[in-house]
Amino acid sequence: MKLGFIGLGRMGSRMATNLVRAGHDLTVFNRSPGRSASLVILGAREATRLADACSSSAVISMLADDEAANDIVLAPSGIVDHLPTGAIHVSMSTLSVALSRQLALAHEKAGQRYVAAPVFGRPDMAAAAKLFILAAGNSAAIDECEPLFRALGQKTTIGTEPWAANLVKLSGNFLLASVIEALGEAVALIGKSGIDPKLYVEFLTSTLFPVPAYKTYGALIAAGKFEPAAFAAPLGYKDIRLALAAAESLRVPMPLASLLHDRFLRLLAHGGDHLDWAAIGGLASQDAYVLGSRRVAS
């Protein structure tokens, strides 16, 4: 399939690589230059202007946050301005429900088709083409994009309202952050009692919770090792805020989400911007003053 791909960050570059390897004809674009070299070697074309990545019948965007998506999609000379009528924009970024609604409206007005398809998975899963993709929007458009999704991971369709995929994505990140907090408190308790936290996490993840989320975050928390960041704390904080913003507009109180919100604020107040979001799982050990637990700011 011939398509544009916009956003070559930690996730986007790995996703674009898999698309090229699967035989798709990609024109890639990134706002800050110098990210395309390895993709070009594999056969992708580099667009120097956004418009050049928007001339096919489909474009994928994978951007950091609402602000970037606003600039790249909605602002003058953005995707909406350049995409041909009838073409599909697959937005795989983690966006707010409110912005997703706006994008849907803008594309509809412009006669384009919009699919929200945010993903679950850290960069290693993106590289391994094992992302969990959550698609919502026009069903014909989703069907046409099937070969793309297949090259990236496993897709589930969640309906025809694009914002629904964004809400489920945000709720999923809330669930993951809840796992981090719960493990953080459990490891603080276990660690201070004198039991080896690593053995503890191994037990948990070979019995009750034999899944990557618990394995990955359990290991990081047991080791108190939160660098380098695979998913940085400010991004995790952003997603919890977006989940809370959606909950506010629906009038849904979420006390555990509020607890996570406060954990992130504390981490960031202490200079944790460069840490993995799993670092909120280290705060319980700090509060318990478990020996060997890292203090973020010292």
288 makes contact with its own copies (CB under 8 A): yes
Our CB check for its own copies shows the closer of 75 and 211 to be 211
User: Judged by CB under 8 A, which of 90, 158, 242, 275 binds its own copies?
Assistant: 158
User: Judged by CB under 8 A, which of 8, 28, 69, 284 binds its own copies?
Assistant: 284
Burial letters 91-129, b for 16+ CB under 10 A, else e:
bbbbbbbebbbbbbebbeebebbbbbbbbbbbeebbbeb
Binding mask 7-46 for its own copies (x = CB under 8 A): ----------------------------------------
Would you call 118 helix, strand, or coil by DSSP?
A: coil
Q: Taking the mean position of all CA atoms in its chain, how far away is CA 45? A: 25
Q: Write out the binding residues for its own copies, residues 213-252 only, by CB under 8 A.
A: 213, 241, 243, 246-248, 250-252
257 makes contact with its own copies (CB under 8 A): yes
Calpha distance 116→264 (Å, rounded): 27
291 makes contact with its own copies (CB under 8 A): no
262 makes contact with its own copies (CB under 8 A): yes
* Distance of closest approach, residue 128 Cβ to its own copies, in angstroms: 15
Q: Is 169 a catalytic residue?
A: yes
Q: CB neighbours of 274 closer than 8 A, spacing ≥ 6?
A: 227, 229, 232, 233
* Distance of closest approach, residue 120 Cβ to its own copies, in angstroms: 6
Structure token pair of residue 250: 């629906």
Residue 202 has a CB neighbour count (10 Å cut-off) of 15
Q: Taking the mean position of all CA atoms in its chain, how far away is CA 169? A: 8
User: Residue 133: phi, psi to the nearest 5?
Assistant: -105, 135
Amino acid at residue number 242: L
* Distance of closest approach, residue 158 Cβ to its own copies, in angstroms: 7
CB 128 within 8 A of CB 148: no
CB 73 within 8 A of CB 103: yes
82 makes contact with its own copies (CB under 8 A): no
| Cα→Cα distances 108→60, 162, 294, Å | 17, 12, 50
User: Judged by CB under 8 A, which of 10, 122, 270, 294 binds its own copies?
Assistant: 270
User: Judged by CB under 8 A, which of 200, 217, 226, 231 binds its own copies?
Assistant: 200
Which residue reads 């965007």 in tokens? 61
Our CB check for its own copies shows the closer of 6 and 284 to be 284
* Distance of closest approach, residue 113 Cβ to its own copies, in angstroms: 21
Sign of CA dihedral 1, 65, 169, 79: negative
75 makes contact with its own copies (CB under 8 A): no
Residues marked as catalytic: 169
User: Which residues contact its own copies by CB under 8 A?
Assistant: 120, 132, 134, 154, 156, 158-159, 164, 167-168, 171-172, 174-176, 178-179, 181-183, 185-186, 188-190, 192-193, 195, 199-200, 203-204, 206-211, 213, 241, 243, 246-248, 250-259, 261-263, 265-266, 268-271, 284, 287-290, 297
